[in-house]
């Protein structure tokens, strides 16, 4: 394959909802650029982009795909992204690697939730954007209503570049406001027939053309002066203005298409090559140490790994964009994360699962390599002589949905952990964590659909059957009043026996608490507990009733019970313990005896000290469309939430609340259902508070039943 230089490259991410036609658009672009000689369809399971088994089976994208085609001697790298919000990590990575985002908007349904989510990501990344209103061949397509929807959500910078003459069944004609011509396309693609704008469309075209010229001129002061001087711009000046405006996000052009029939695709590719920025015309990328890279082939080599995939017969594949210099086979680079040397053994250009070997990749291009030693998504590889800190990692969202996972066959435990960790490599938004406290393997994801995809891979590819459970809640146990207890551990079975007796008192810990006055405190150990709170352990022994050497064993017994609280098996916290009396045996007393005596005495006292279960309370911030306020508020009240305030943010309303973590299971699914996917939320831990009495009774009953089941 020809090696393309930076100015001959365009990088485009296809963004949009699940039914907006991205994969079909990618297929049509490849066909139009003659990268393929026959178009596949999602229904026939033969598209270049959706080639993995799960995508063929489900008929939608699950992973982003790297494709490319050549048009006007320009190489266009295309990243086709999934349309479901659960796979947002793929979209974020694609936007980071691309220099332009092409948003496909379904001409029947307008702006969808996924479009809004991806838009926020392009705004955070300052990515140039243009729209194509797709599926205009459908009888329900409404171009004008879709434009109103776009402007309502994204502002007046949304600018019509084309509009359809005959939207609906039989759609094939548009008015192009840059060319100021009527374009008629053939079913199946190809260059359009170019004719003059008919009289019936001239007034509308002139009005929209003027708006386009004004918005294009705003992209550059020199162009604005030319516009004021001549009342218009030449076609080349307009294209330059559109490009500059896209880079500064002061214009968002809108085009028309029917990807299924190949209508409008030729002109979209032409627009990409003539009006979208090449990588060297994009703002510079800075490393963490402040060094700037502007996709210049003369700079030291620097690349950023934006995606990792595991492919049959290849193994681990690293997708990267070259941000400086050139990358060649057999080149040695430094991984800035760990300072390890990595050799680039082979370089490939991808078209879905099809790969083509190359020996050089220029700045601005996107390619893949294999067989790297220790490279992850978000790693930066740089020239050893000019390594200047890595680039900022991808800013991926926090998990929104947590589930506990366990293999049906316990012999698969180790295999399950290894497979899930491999999945995390390819999808960093998937977090795997074993909670020692909850004794559960937790799978943290972006939603139920995300988890179901993981389950499909485990069942079908790795042949591991799993069970999914709601995760346990990390409750805490504490006490509300003081209590005393004693316990004698005595065991005799030939030879030396076991004997230890402990008398203790416990009381709640809080700042400024007072020690009792009926026995002296002779020594105090304060323990900051790893799970929060304190244990204060006091030696109040007088007269040598318990030898000093047994106190650490008593403390160990108490700490064991703190590790697994008497009420629900959760961690206990904020307790003051006083060991004030006991008995020893000159032969049979030992450390194990006093550990058990201390453990049991503590457990008995705990149950008599007004024990309370405490639950984690979280700060919840929910952003929703105003129309959904009532339904969301009602749902939150059913989750024991306390509303702390409300505010507005753009078109959305923001609700701030305190809510128990126990009530937030599957909230991402509920919120998506209530708001049709438009609601977003952020949940952060705040503190622990006592659970209501009825909830405590329920938890105690459930714990007792679980112990009976174990027996």
Kindly state the tokens that stand for 406: 């366990």
In angstroms, the CA 148 to CA 158 distance is 10
Q: Kindly give the pairing relationship between strand 347-351 and strand 571-572.
A: unpaired
For residue 494, name the pLDDT band (cuts at 50, 70, 90). low
Q: Annotate 13-31 with b (16+ C-beta within 10 A) or e (fewer).
A: bbbbbbbbbbbbbbbbbbb
Domain 285-382 has CATH 2.40.30.10: yes
- The closest alpha carbon to 216, from 265, 271, 167, 264, belongs to 271
- Kindly indicate the confidence band of residue 495, based on its pLDDT and cuts at 50, 70 and 90: low
- What residues pair up with 648 in beta bridges, in sequence order? 653
pLDDT for the residue numbered 422: 92
In a 10 Å sphere around its CB, with 0-12 CB exposed, 13-18 middle and 19+ buried, how is residue 233 labelled?
Answer: buried
Helix (H) or strand (E) holding 680: strand 680-690
Helical pair 667-675 and 629-637, crossing angle rounded to 10 deg: 150
CB of 708 closer than 8 Å to CB of 577:
no
Label each residue of 597-651 as H, E or C: HHHHHHHHHHHCCCCEEEEEEEEEEEEEEHHHHHHHHHHHHCCCCEEEEEEEECC
How far, in Å, CA of 68 to CA of 42, rounded?
19
User: Which percentage of the chain shows pLDDT scores above 90?
Assistant: 83
pLDDT band at 59 (very low <50, low <70, confident <90, very high): confident
- In this prediction, residue 587 has a pLDDT band, given cuts at 50, 70 and 90, of confident
Per-residue pLDDT at 283: 92
Question: pLDDT tens across 666-692, in order?
Answer: 999 999 999 988 899 999 999 999 999
Domain range 7-205+249-281, CATH architecture: 3-Layer(aba) Sandwich (3.40)
Dist CA 552 CA 558 (whole Å):
10
Distances (CA, A) of 124 to 88, 93, 250, 477, 584: 14, 13, 15, 43, 69
- Alpha carbons 150 and 361: distance in angstroms, whole number: 37
313 pLDDT more than 90: no
pLDDT digit string, tens, across residues 171-186: 999 999 999 999 999 9
Q: How far apart are CA 413 and CA 406, in angstroms?
A: 8
Q: Tell me the two tokens of residue 487.
A: 């316990």
pLDDT at 707: 76
Band (349; pLDDT cuts 50, 70, 90): very high
Cα–Cα distance measured from residue 653 to residue 52, given in angstroms and rounded to the nearest whole number: 40
Strands 129-134 and 252-256: parallel
pLDDT in tens, 70-97: 999 999 999 999 989 899 999 999 999 9
State the chain's maximal CA–CA distance in angstroms: 114
Q: Is the pLDDT of residue 15 over 80?
A: yes
CB 68 within 8 A of CB 32: no
DSSP 3-state of 563: helix
* pLDDT at residue 623 in the model: 95
Domain ranges of the chain: 7-205+249-281, 285-382, 401-469, 477-610, 613-695
- Of 572, 516, 575, 561, the residue nearest 540 (C-alpha): 516
- How far out from the chain centre does Cα 105 lie? 23
CA distance 566 to 568: 6
- Say yes or no to pLDDT of 579 above 60: yes
What are the b/e assignments for 359-383, b being 16+ CB within 10 Å?
Answer: ebbbbbbbbbbbebeebbbbbbbbb
Note the helical H segments in 257-353.
Answer: 265-275
Phi and psi torsions of 321, nearest 5°? -115, 135
| DSSP, res 479 | -
pLDDT score for 218: 86
Of these ranges, 233-237, 362-366, 432-436, 541-545, the one predicted with the greatest mean pLDDT is 362-366
Closest among 108, 142, 106, 105 to 252, alpha carbons compared: 105
Architecture of domain 401-469: 2-Layer Sandwich (3.30)
SS3 at position 277: coil
* DSSP helix/strand/coil, 498: strand
CATH class for the region spanning 477-610: alpha beta
Cα 240 to Cα 123: distance, rounded to the nearest angstrom: 22
Q: Which two tokens stand for residue 196?
A: 């003059």
Question: Which residues lie below 8 Å from residue 50, measured CB to CB, with a gap of 6+?
Answer: 23, 42, 56, 59, 60, 61, 65
Q: Do 401-469 and 613-695 show the same overall fold?
A: yes
What is the arithmetic mean of pLDDT over 153-163?
95
526-573 pLDDT, tens digit each:
999 999 999 999 999 988 899 999 999 999 999 999 999 999 999 999
pLDDT, one tens digit per residue, over 393-434 is 999 999 999 999 999 999 999 999 999 999 999 999 999 999
Helix, strand, coil % over all residues of the chain, rounded to 5: 30, 30, 35
Q: Can you give 207-245 as a three-state secondary structure string? A: HHHHHHHHHHHCCCHHHHHHHHHHCCCCHHHHHHHHHHH
Counts for the chain of helices (H) and strands (E), in that order: 16, 38
d(CA 140, CA 512): 71
Dihedral sign for Cα atoms in the order 272, 133, 183, 24: positive
pLDDT of residue 614 exceeding 70: yes
Q: Which fold has domain 613-695?
A: Alpha-Beta Plaits (3.30.70)
Q: Which of 601, 605, 600, 595 is nearest to 498 (CA)?
A: 595
* Distance between start and end Cα atoms, the chain: 68
Nearest to 671 by CA among 443, 400, 409, 346: 400
Whether pLDDT at 383 is above 90: yes
pLDDT at 711 over 70: no
Residue 448 predicted with pLDDT over 70: yes
Alpha-carbon distance 51 to 354, whole Å?
A: 10
- Report how far apart, in Å, the C-alpha atoms of 205 and of each of 172, 217, 622, 643 are: 17, 18, 43, 51
Rg (CA), the chain: 33
pLDDT at 533: 93
Pairing of strands 193-195, 74-80: unpaired
Name the pLDDT band for 223 (thresholds 50, 70, 90).
Answer: confident
- Quote the pLDDT of residue 110: 85
Sheet with 401-407, side-by-side order of all strands: 431-435, 440-445, 401-407, 466-469
Name the residue among 482, 493, 497, 377 with its Cα closest to residue 425.
Answer: 377
Does the pTM exceed 0.75? yes
pLDDT band at 229 (very low <50, low <70, confident <90, very high): confident
Band of pLDDT at residue 710, cut at 50, 70 and 90: low
Q: What is the pLDDT of residues 620-636, one digit of tens each?
A: 999 999 999 999 999 99
Q: For residues 47-78, b (16+ Cβ closer than 10 Å) or e, as one string?
A: bbbbbbebbeeeebbbbbbbbbbbbeebbbbb
21 closest CA partner among 123, 138, 172 = 138
């Amino acid at each position: 394959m020809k090696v393309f230089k930076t100015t001959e490259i365009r990088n485009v991410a296809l963004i949009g909802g699940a039914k907006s036609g991205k994969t079909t658009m990618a297929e049509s672009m490849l066909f139009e650029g003659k990268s393929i000689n026959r178009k596949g369809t999602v229904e026939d399971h033969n598209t270049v982009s959706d080639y993995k088994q799960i995508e063929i089976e489900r008929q939608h994208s699950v992973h982003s795909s790297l494709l490319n085609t050549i048009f006007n001697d320009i190489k266009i790298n295309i990243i086709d992204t999934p349309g479901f919000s659960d796979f947002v990590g793929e979209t974020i990575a694609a936007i980071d690697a691309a220099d332009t985002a092409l948003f496909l908007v379904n001409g029947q349904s307008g702006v969808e939730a996924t479009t809004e989510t991806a838009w926020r990501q392009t705004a955070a990344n300052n990515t140039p954007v243009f729209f194509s209103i797709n599926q205009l061949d459908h009888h329900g397509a409404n171009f004008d209503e879709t434009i109103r929807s776009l402007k309502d959500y994204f502002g007046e910078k949304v600018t019509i570049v084309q509009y359809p003459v005959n939207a609906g069944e039989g759609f094939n004609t548009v008015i192009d406001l840059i060319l100021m011509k009527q374009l008629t396309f053939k079913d199946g693609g190809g260059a359009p027939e170019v004719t003059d704008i008919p009289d019936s469309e001239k007034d509308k075209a002139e009005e929209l053309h003027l708006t386009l010229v004004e918005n294009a001129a705003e992209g550059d002061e020199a162009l604005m002066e030319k516009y004021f001087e001549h009342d218009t711009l030449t076609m080349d000046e307009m294209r330059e203005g559109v490009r500059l405006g896209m880079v500064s996000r002061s214009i968002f052009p809108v085009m028309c298409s029917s990807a299924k029939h190949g209508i409008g695709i030729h002109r979209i590719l032409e627009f990409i090559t003539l009006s979208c920025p090449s990588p060297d015309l994009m703002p510079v990328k800075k490393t963490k140490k402040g060094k700037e890279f502007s996709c210049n082939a003369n700079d030291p080599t620097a690349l950023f790994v934006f995606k990792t995939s595991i492919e049959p017969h290849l193994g681990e594949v690293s997708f990267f964009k070259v941000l400086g210099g050139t990358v060649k086979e057999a080149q040695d680079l430094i991984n800035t994360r760990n300072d390890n040397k990595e050799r680039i053994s082979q370089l490939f250009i991808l078209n879905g699962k099809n790969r083509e070997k190359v020996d050089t990749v220029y700045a601005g291009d996107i390619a893949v390599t294999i067989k790297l030693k220790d490279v992850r998504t978000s790693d930066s590889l740089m020239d050893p002589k000019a390594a200047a800190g890595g680039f900022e990692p991808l800013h991926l969202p926090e998990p929104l949905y947590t589930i506990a996972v366990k293999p049906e066959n316990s012999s698969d435990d180790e295999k399950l952990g290894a497979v899930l960790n491999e999945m995390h490599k390819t999808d960093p938004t998937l977090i795997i964590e074993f909670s020692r406290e909850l004794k559960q393997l937790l799978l943290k994801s972006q939603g139920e659909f995300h988890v179901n995809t993981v389950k499909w891979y485990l069942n079908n590819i790795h042949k591991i059957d799993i069970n999914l459970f709601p995760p346990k809640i990390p409750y805490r146990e504490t006490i509300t009043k003081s209590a005393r207890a004693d316990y004698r551990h005595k065991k005799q079975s030939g030879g030396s026996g076991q004997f230890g007796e402990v008398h203790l008192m416990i009381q709640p810990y809080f700042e400024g608490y007072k020690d009792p006055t009926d026995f002296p405190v002779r020594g105090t150990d304060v323990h900051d507990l790893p799970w929060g709170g304190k244990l204060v352990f006091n030696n109040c022994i007088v007269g040598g009733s318990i030898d000093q050497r047994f106190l650490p064993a008593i403390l160990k017994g108490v700490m064991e019970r703190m590790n697994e609280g008497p009420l629900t098996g959760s961690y206990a916290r904020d307790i003051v313990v006083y060991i004030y009396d006991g008995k020893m045996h000159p032969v049979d007393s030992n450390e194990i005896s006093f550990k058990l005596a201390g453990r049991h005495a503590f457990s008995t006292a705990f149950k008599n000290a007004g024990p309370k279960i405490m639950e984690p309370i979280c700060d919840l911030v929910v952003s929703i469309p105003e129309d959904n306020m009532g339904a969301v508020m009602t749902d939150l009240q059913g989750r024991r939430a306390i509303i702390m305030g409300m505010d507005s943010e753009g078109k959305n309303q923001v609700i701030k609340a305190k809510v128990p973590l126990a009530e937030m299971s599957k909230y991402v699914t509920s919120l998506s259902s209530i708001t049709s996917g438009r609601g977003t939320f952020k949940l952060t831990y705040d503190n622990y508070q006592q659970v209501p009495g009825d909830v405590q009774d329920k938890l105690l009953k459930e714990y007792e039943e679980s112990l009976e089941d174990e027996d």
